[in-house]
Amino acid sequence: MALQIEWTEEARSDIRALDRPTAMHIFEGIHRYALTGEGDVKTLEGKHAGKLRLRLGSYRIFFRSDHKLLWMLAVKHRREAYR
């Protein structure tokens, strides 16, 4: 069963700032995770505790999840992701 995907304003702004091929790659990765649960996902600690991270190439997608919903919180390049 696919999870529903919701976007925060920050995540929407982040994805709009990307070029189209990169944004499409990220959308495809998120969609694949929502459908299958497959992907490089890690539970974060420290100042990002409670968030999950999906790694897609050089980008990190920060999100929260419950059994029915994925909340996309931010989309950051790896060099800015953990600042």
pLDDT by position in tens, the chain (length 83): 688 999 999 999 999 999 999 999 999 999 999 999 999 999 999 888 999 999 999 999 999 998 899 999 999 999 998 77
Question: What is the Cα–Cα distance from 26 to 41, expressed in whole angstroms?
Answer: 14
Q: What CATH number corresponds to the domain at position 64?
A: 3.30.2310.20
Domain region containing 56? 4-81
Domain count for the chain: 1
Question: What is the Cα–Cα distance from 49 to 31, expressed in whole angstroms?
Answer: 24
**pTM, full prediction:** 0.90
Which of the 8 DSSP states describes residue 46? G
